[in-house]
Amino acid sequence: MQGICLLGATGSIGQSTLNIIAQHPDKFTLINASANESVEKMADICRRFRPQRVVMGSEKARNDLALQCCNLSTSFEWGNDALESIASDASVDQVMAAIMGFAGLKPTLAGIRAGKRTLLANKESLVTAGKLFMDEVARHNVVLLPIDSEHNAIYQSLPQTTSGAHTQDVSKILLTASGGPFRTWSLDDMASVTPEQACKHPNWSMGQKISIDSASLMNKGLELIEACWLFDVTPNEIEVVVHPESIVHSMVSYRDGSVVAQMGNPDMRIPIAYGMTWPKRVETQVPPLSLIDVGRLNFEAPDTSRFPNLKLAADAWFMGGTAMAVLNAANEVAVAAFLNRKIGFLDIAKVNEGVLSAANIVTVNTLDNVFEADFSSRQLAQDMVNRGGFL
């Protein structure tokens, strides 16, 4: 029986993880869970899964939840220290890191430092802390399994040993991208899209922030950096391939000319269950893939002139140090501003570019360097949004 701490339980990844737990009550039990503000959703989770500890983002959310669930023996808590504490509890075997954004970094690291098997959906934590994050994984001998579907596919397509996947004999990683809802749109048309249009991903149902990132290709940029850290490669060894059907989730090209791909219907329960049960597999209730029904698989090159975020991410990698934390912070602010209708869709990349070129990039020696870069870049980005200075 594996005890799960589910960080970000009320989100899209959180719900899919609960679905796998519910399908396999003989294998998994929800020990601890967290959410930011969604009291109703969390009350429902508490009644169904009876976790030991639940952490909310504010005292008010915690109190409202405790009131709704007063007949349960669950301990209701709130705040950052409690979040780190539930990830490192002795009764937890696996931490599912599914908080949205940079806010997930500290609790994810707390689980790693406690030696927990780490299922990483929260790509922003690895993108921003990079080497420090991977050093902690190595120091604490942690099994780190990528949940992002592309990285999970790469992991599955790499040679497996008892300690994980290895990049021996690899010539290139082929990172697939759906291209998002605006893949074929002109810049003129994209200039006036609404948050509702941008959130409508053609193949995946996801949280708002990652949906916008998918539409702007920032998601693929973050994933490029994520793949560099996870698989110890540089952007030169990764080719982004646009594949609108999202059936091939990514590929690995070997030096003998072989290309190994992982395919499946686009449903996050596959990579989630893979992470939870690795190196074994379980049923997921995802309908089997019918390639005959799919009929055709298409592939094309990404267009960085319409989607500059992808190039900005590669630039940030080569700049090194805090550049990736800077870019991520700018993007989190820009996406929130777009969702609040303060800026247009194309302004997201302009804010990102403006902050990346204006910020003071320093070497990352400690986590403080990352937090300072995040803090000052958020301010820079917010100033640009307020001034409309990105135009």
Binding residues, by number, are 10-13, 122-124, 148-150, 178, 201, 207, 214, 219-220, 223
Short-list 147, 155, 195, CA closest to 16: 147
Short-list 331, 327, 319, CA closest to 363: 319
Phi first, then psi: what are they for 11, rounded to 5°?
A: -85, -175
Query: Taking CB under 5 A as the rule, does residue 267 contact Mg ion?
Result: no
Taking the complex as a whole, how short is the minimal distance between the CB of residue 149 and Mg ion, in angstroms? 5
Q: Which of ligand NAD, Mg ion, none sits in contact with 35, Cβ below 5 to 8 A by type? A: ligand NAD
Query: Taking CB under 5 A as the rule, does residue 226 contact Mg ion?
Result: no
Taking the complex as a whole, how short is the minimal distance between the CB of residue 41 and Mg ion, in angstroms? 23
Q: Which residues contact 391 (CB under 8 A, 6 or more apart)?
A: 347, 350
Taking the complex as a whole, how short is the minimal distance between the CB of residue 266 and Mg ion, in angstroms? 10
Candidate ranges 34-42, 56-64, 141-149, 307-315; the one touching Mg ion (CB under 5 A): 141-149
Strand partners, 109: none
| Edge-to-edge strand list for the sheet holding 170-177 | 238-242, 170-177, 248-254, 259-263
Taking the complex as a whole, how short is the minimal distance between the CB of residue 326 and ligand NAD, in angstroms? 18
Phi first, then psi: what are they for 8, rounded to 5°?
A: 90, 45
Q: How far, in Å, CA of 331 to CA of 312, rounded? A: 11
Please, which residue, 61 or 390, has the CB nearer to ligand NAD?
61
Residue closest to Mg ion, measured at CB: 148
The footprint of Mg ion on residues 142-171 (CB under 5 A) is 148-150
Short-list 383, 335, 330, CA closest to 361: 330
Please, which residue, 89 or 150, has the CB nearer to Mg ion?
150
Please, which residue, 124 or 347, has the CB nearer to ligand NAD?
124
Q: How far, in Å, CA of 110 to CA of 83, rounded? A: 9
The number of C-alpha atoms within 13 Å of 213 and in the hemisphere containing its C-beta is: 25
Q: Which of Mg ion, ligand NAD, none sits in contact with 227, Cβ below 5 to 8 A by type? A: none
Asked if the bond preceding 279 is cis, omega within 30° of 0, the reply is: yes
Enumerate the known binding-site residues for 1-deoxy-D-xylulose 5-phosphate: 123, 149-150, 178, 201, 214, 219-220, 223
Taking the complex as a whole, how short is the minimal distance between the CB of residue 327 and Mg ion, in angstroms? 17
Q: Which of ligand NAD, Mg ion, none sits in contact with 10, Cβ below 5 to 8 A by type? A: ligand NAD
Residues at the contact surface with ligand NAD, assessed by CB under 6 A: 8-14, 35-36, 38, 57, 98-100, 103, 121-124, 148, 204, 206-210, 268
Enumerate the known binding-site residues for Mn(2+): 148, 150, 223
The torsion region of residue 115 among left (phi > 0), alpha (psi -120 to 50) and beta comes to left
Name the site residues for Mg ion (rule: CB under 5 A): 148-150
